[in-house]
Amino acid sequence: MRQYLNWKTGLVLAALVIVAASLSYTSRLANNLAAQEQKNMQQISEALRTMANVRSDQDKGFDLALNLVKSNSSIPFIWASEDGQILDYKNIDTSGIRDVPSFLKKKMKAYGEERTPILVELTGSNQYVYYGESSLLRQLRYFPYIQLAIILLFLVVVVIAIIAAQRSIQNRVWLGLSKETAHQLGTPLMALEGWVEILREQECNQEAVQEMNKDLARLRLIAERFSKVGSEPQLAVENVVFRLQQMAEYMRRRAPNSVQIRVQSELQDIPVAISGPLFDWVIENLIRNALDAMKGPGRIEIRVMAQEHSVEIDLSDTGKGIPRHQLRKIFQPGFTTKKRGWGLGLSLSRRIIREYHHGSLFVRSSEPGQGTTFRIILKR
């Protein structure tokens, strides 16, 4: 995991370096081009001054100035008198504009706000040249942001792909582990069932044999749960309140006498499509975690709330609570605060509720020293 994070961090840093270098280089190019366009406009302004001062359009200086003005095919500009009257304009698209004078007035004002107009000194009066940026310069200024957006989009796609690949690998590992566990339990279970049948036929403590048979049934249920992980379970409509009451009664017999386990529901019959063995596994995991969190006297309450389209199940305990910095980690495979265990209980429980029951499982609230509440939401 550490190598994966370092690699991902390195990818992000490399992308940021590329973006920073591109922004710096493009900004330098844009500034150089802006300076060149300003120089060109200075020359055009001088040409306009020459054209206004010469007495005849047959003058050689007039021809040179006119050619210089005509050679500008990219920089938009407006030539205006001192009192703001527009004398001429070039490289400004006015096609489709009904009120061209008003449009040019707005353009001239915008150009004047962006940069200082160039003064054209004439005999007896002054004129001004208002100019903007060429389309090439505008594209060059916007290009780094387009490039940044593309790189960010690429990074998002890469990160999503990496996370999906990692999640797929984890899922295959846990599925394989579950299937192998169910397979390994099968052989000793069959042998134990045979031994129990032999003990039944002999004169021995039949009460002990009966308890052994209950434990065998429990082991068979556990093996069945592991075998169902990874396969599409068959959902059946059941009374979820009755199912929770059965699990609460089962856990009561195995919990310390100092712990109270109660089920509360306004309605006693709430039909929900569930996979009974897998749903029981989730509730058992949550109750066992609650028992481990209390380590002594306490209370576990299961509240069932029927909504119009869903059923909310809150399982609360009076244990030690979960520190805030661990809340995001508790559903990750392998994460555990216990000295024993693999840290798969909550991860598999969320998978069962999300993927098989199309619901959700999350920590509704948790306060250190006061307890934790898990919430399960199922569709009705």
Side chain identity at 53, as an amino acid letter?
Answer: N
Q: For residue 330, which phi and psi values (nearest 5 degrees)?
A: -65, -25
Cβ(316)–Cβ(372) below 8 Å = yes
How much is the average pLDDT of 155-163? Answer: 81
Assess if residue 228 is contained within a domain: no
Question: Do 176 and 121 belong to one domain?
Answer: no
Range of the domain at 155: 139-214
Cβ(319)–Cβ(288) below 8 Å = no
Assess if residue 181 is contained within a domain: yes
Please report, for the domain that includes residue 367, its CATH number: 3.30.565.10
Cβ(247)–Cβ(287) below 8 Å = yes
Cβ(380)–Cβ(272) below 8 Å = yes
- Final residue of a structural domain among 72, 98, 133: 133
| Residue 264 or residue 48, greater confidence | 264
Q: Give counts: helices (H), strands (E), the chain.
A: 8, 11
How much is the average pLDDT of 132-152? Answer: 82
Cβ(274)–Cβ(311) below 8 Å = no
Question: Do 126 and 143 belong to one domain?
Answer: no
- Residue 369 clears pLDDT 70, i.e. is over it: yes
Q: What is the pLDDT of residue 3?
A: 47
Question: Do 178 and 239 belong to one domain?
Answer: no
Question: Do 248 and 365 belong to one domain?
Answer: yes
Q: Which of 147-156, 220-229, 249-258, 266-275 has the lowest mean pLDDT?
A: 220-229
Q: Which of 51-65, 215-229, 255-269, 308-322 has the lowest mean pLDDT?
A: 51-65
- CA gap 5, 165 in Å, rounded: 14
Assess if residue 310 is contained within a domain: yes
| Residue 230 or residue 256, greater confidence | 256
- Final residue of a structural domain among 214, 242, 263: 214
Assess if residue 160 is contained within a domain: yes
